[in-house]
Chains A and B, each alone.
Chain A
Amino acid sequence: MSARGGLPWVLLAAVVIVAIAWAAWPDDARVSVAARAHDLAAELRCPDCEALSVAESSTPTARAIRRDLKRRIAAGQSDAQIRQAYVDAYDETILLEPEGSGLGVLVWGLPVVVLVLGAGGLAFALRRWKREPRLHATDADEQLVAKTREVDER
């Protein structure tokens, strides 16, 4: 790719990277109590409904938990402590995301492993195809071509 041909692409890449960096820069205002409470609430399952998170549900228990989360954050408890307190009172099903330890490794790790294997397989296959020569004609192919030629010549 000549330098001149590549220039528009390099420019484009630069613009895109700057835009992403600008947008993705962590915003300090977001680490407020309310934001932390909301993030935690999104990770907890609402105990008296099916599969909704505490952040989404409007049942009395969910609202009580949201208030409780704010209280706990204000009291200085860490996210891990709060999660553990809820697991102690309810059970592990109160967490919507499996923990990363023990069996949890499977559910987080397997997809990554599968994707890496898939991408690796693809790269490997592409490289092998590039290196291997193109088709060899088999005897059956030669016969077919000969037969077709006969028909043409007739």
Chain B
Amino acid sequence: MRHPTRWIALGIAVVVLLFGIVLATRVGDDPQAEASKSQLLDDPVPEFSVRTSDGTALSSADLHGRVVIVNFWNSWCLPCRDELPALKVFFDRHADDPEFLMLGIVRDDTVKAARAFVRERGIDWTIGFDQESVAALAFGTRGQPETFAVTADGVIVGYQYGPSTVADLERLFARARQGSA
């Protein structure tokens, strides 16, 4: 084979070209958009159990039959404080709906601080304490606030990473309501 150097160079050129094409397709990707996806979308809600403020245990089985908005938060997280008014407005709108449950799971916080926060801010919805972060890990959370929408059949259909507005919450609720039919 004459000029093996040429053939090797050609081979390398092909590889480099393919490589360049791959790189070119990735330029212009938005890494931020990736953060708003959850692996659990369209999956059944994972098994978990949290202790509520009155000491009873609340597990994933107890959610069945109702549309649930699960919101992970804690008392020292600033964006959680930012979204609190929106959560309250949203909750007040749907509080009387018997087929709706709003569950706020406290992750990575002391029970004392969380209770104090709930008292101070007048939070009326169900609060669950996840001291061992079992629920937080099962839901694949990375921080807080993170909000999930669950249908009455127990399927996760909506996800919001970061603080939500009332519109975001209504959108999640509508999707969960739709999926429950």
0 or 1 for each of A64-79: is its CB under 8 Å from B? (1 = yes): 1101100100000000
Interface of B is mostly: loop
Contact A67 B132 (CB under 8 A): yes
Chain B, range 116-147, C-beta contacts under 8 Å to A: 132-134, 136-143
Contact A89 B139 (CB under 8 A): yes
Once A47-B142, A48-B142, A89-B46 are accepted as A-B contacts, the answer to whether A64 and B137 lie under 8 Å apart by CB is yes
0 or 1 for each of B136-178: is its CB under 8 Å from A? (1 = yes): 1111111100000000000000000000000000000000000
Q: How many A-B residue pairs have CB under 8 A?
A: 43
Among the listed B43, B132, B133, B140, which residue makes an inter-chain contact with A90, where contact means beta carbons less than 8 Å apart?
B140
Task: Tell me, yes or no, whether B95 is within 8 Å of chain A by CB.
Answer: no
Q: Please list the 4 inter-chain residue pairs (A to B) with the smallest Cβ-Cβ separation, ordered nearest first.
A: A64-B133, A89-B140, A47-B142, A91-B39
Q: How far is the CB of A27 from chain B (nearest CB, A)?
A: 31
Given contacts A88-B39, A88-B43, 14 further A-B contacts (CB under 8 A): A47-B140, A47-B141, A61-B108, A64-B133, A64-B137, A68-B134, A68-B137, A87-B39, A89-B39, A89-B40, A89-B138, A89-B140, A90-B39, A90-B140
Residues of A within 8 A of B137 (CB): 61, 64-65, 68, 89
In the complex, the chain B residue whose C-beta lies closest to that of A94 is B140
What are some 9 contacts across the A-B interface (CB < 8 A)? A47-B142, A48-B142, A61-B141, A61-B143, A67-B132, A68-B134, A71-B132, A88-B43, A91-B140
Q: What count of chain A residues pass the 8 Å CB interface test?
A: 14
Task: Tell me, yes or no, whether A60 is within 8 Å of chain B by CB.
Answer: yes
Q: What count of chain B residues pass the 8 Å CB interface test?
A: 17
Chain B residues at the A interface, C-beta cutoff of 8 Å: 39-40, 43, 46, 107-108, 132-134, 136-143
Complex: how many Å from CA A90 to CA B141?
8
Residues of A within 8 A of B108 (CB): 60-61, 64
Among the listed A48, A61, A87, A91, which residue makes an inter-chain contact with B133, where contact means beta carbons less than 8 Å apart?
A61
Complex: how many Å from CA A47 to CA B132?
17
Q: How far is the CB of A64 from chain B (nearest CB, A)?
A: 3
Residues of A within 8 A of B40 (CB): 88-89
Complex: how many Å from CA A47 to CA B107?
15
Complex: how many Å from CA A85 to CA B39?
12
In the complex, the chain A residue whose C-beta lies closest to that of B143 is A48
